Amino acid sequence: MEKRVGILTTGGDCSGLNAVIRSAFVRASALGYQLLGIKRGFRGLASDQPDFVELTPELCDASMLSRAGSIIYSDTKWISASLNAGVTVEDIKRAVHRRYDELHLDGLVCVGGDGSLTVLHELLSDNDQLNVVFIPKTIDNDVNHTDFAIGFQSALQVVVDAIEDIRSSARSHERTMVIEVMGRDAGYIAMYAGLAAGVDAILMPEFAFSMDKLIAHVKACYACGQDHCIVVVSESVETDDFKHKEEFVEGVVSYTHSEYKGIGKYIAAKIRASGIETRCSVLGHIQRGGTTCISDRLIGTLMGVEAINLISSGRTGKFLAFENNRVAVLDIKDVVKSINRKLSLDNEYVKAAKELGVYVGEV
Ligand code: F6P
């Protein structure tokens, strides 16, 4: 029987997923493997009906490299919805192993974020029969052990372009623009995009800020001759009187997932109340789209090839990191000990922003 590998994308989509799928397909074909695209992440692997597509040269042509999102779909809620409905982790584990055997898979490439890696680790047992290679992706870049997760750098490009587009209007009306970006509980998008776009203040969940000091900073920018001001705000920032978890999360939808909303508008209203004409733009899901940037295409391509090479040589249970411009192979069991990361004051971009006089909070 022809050897078979499965690939799935799970968690929030981003740019670069299709680049991984394409290169995994091309490499798998070269080694004589069939590649099955398991649709909708773990849901396609564990739900009652098998849900997959056999990948072909037509589906995986080169135009995929630039296309954001996932041609095999990605699910964010199935696991949590199942657990909430009383299905146990053991049930899901059994279903995944059963489907893996039914499909006669020789290996599985999972492309996901920190939540997906936690789930995957729970699905693996000590003497596991699933030959898994995990590729980290998330626009939030909050997965430890890798310099860049797939999707992060494309998201930065979208955010920087948006800030520059908004800047012309801010300037014409001499306004302050508050721009709310994604990132969940980490401020990487806000920090890196804010610095690349030369903004005046960057508010991140990792560093507390003072509303009075922020407003004083905005006023100081105008006093120094600026005709406008840009404040980038990470979606999960909180203030003394604005708490996401109490007021603004529209239902906690999973054990790894919550939705943030509203802080940008709140901060804009406070700045406006101090007498500065201010508007807010919430960038939202455009940050997960756009044209995949060159780095995500290249890293995705390298990782797709490496994942298939590892499976074909029997080295599985691995996590692919991008470190110092190379793909590094780590053990999933070591990586899960500390999956999440956040910005710290040691981060060179945070340090540079402070030294350039950008307000990054009371640090
Ligand atoms: O984790 C990626 C991410 O885009 C976060 O930055 C954001 O908070 C969340 O997903 C949005 O999720 P959803 O697509 O479910 O609204």
Into how many domains does the chain fold? 2
Residue whose Cα lies nearest atom 14 of ligand 1: it is 12
Note if the pTM is more than 0.85: yes
pLDDT on residue 87: 87
Residue 363: inside a domain, yes or no?
no
Mean pLDDT of 337-352: 96
Give the position, in ligand 1's atom list, of the atom nearest the Cα of 11: 1
Q: Find the helix or strand (DSSP H, E) in which 331 lies.
A: strand 326-331
The answer to whether residues 289 and 69 touch, using CB atoms and an 8 Å cutoff, is yes
Whether residue 1 has pLDDT greater than 70: no
pLDDT band at 126 (very low <50, low <70, confident <90, very high): low
Residue 37: inside a domain, yes or no?
yes
CATH number of the structural domain spanning residue 84: 3.40.50.450
Give the domain extent around 270.
155-288+344-355
Whether residue 93 has pLDDT greater than 70: yes
Distance CA 56, CA 99 (A): 21
Instruction: Give buried/exposed letters for 136-154 (b at 16+ CB in 10 A, else e).
Output: bbbbbbbbbbbebbbbbbb
Q: Is 260 in the pocket of ligand 1 (CB under 6 A)?
A: yes
Residue 24: inside a domain, yes or no?
yes
Mean pLDDT of 175-193: 97
pLDDT on residue 324: 94
Structure tokens at 225: 């001759």
Out of 117, 143, 182, 340, give the residue to mutate to test ligand 1, the one with the largest number of ligand atoms within 8 Å of its CB.
182
CA triple 131-136-140, angle to 5 deg: 155
Whether residue 154 has pLDDT greater than 80: yes
Give the position, in ligand 1's atom list, of the atom nearest the Cα of 189: 6
pLDDT on residue 276: 98
Bin 251: left if φ > 0, else alpha if -120 < ψ < 50, else beta.
Answer: left
Average pLDDT, rounded, for the chain:
93
Annotation marks residue 334 as catalytic? no
| DSSP reduced 3-state for 284 | helix
Q: Are residues 144 and 163 in the same domain?
A: no
pLDDT on residue 261: 82
Give the position, in ligand 1's atom list, of the atom nearest the Cα of 76: 15
pLDDT on residue 247: 46
Q: What percent of the chain has pLDDT over 90?
A: 81
pLDDT on residue 172: 98
Residue whose Cα lies nearest atom 8 of ligand 1: it is 184
Q: Is 77 in the pocket of ligand 1 (CB under 6 A)?
A: no
CATH number of the structural domain spanning residue 226: 3.40.50.460
Least confident window among 138-142, 181-185, 245-249: 245-249
Residue whose Cα lies nearest atom 16 of ligand 1: it is 259
Query: Which pairing describes strands 229-234 and 278-282: parallel, antiparallel, or unpaired?
Result: unpaired
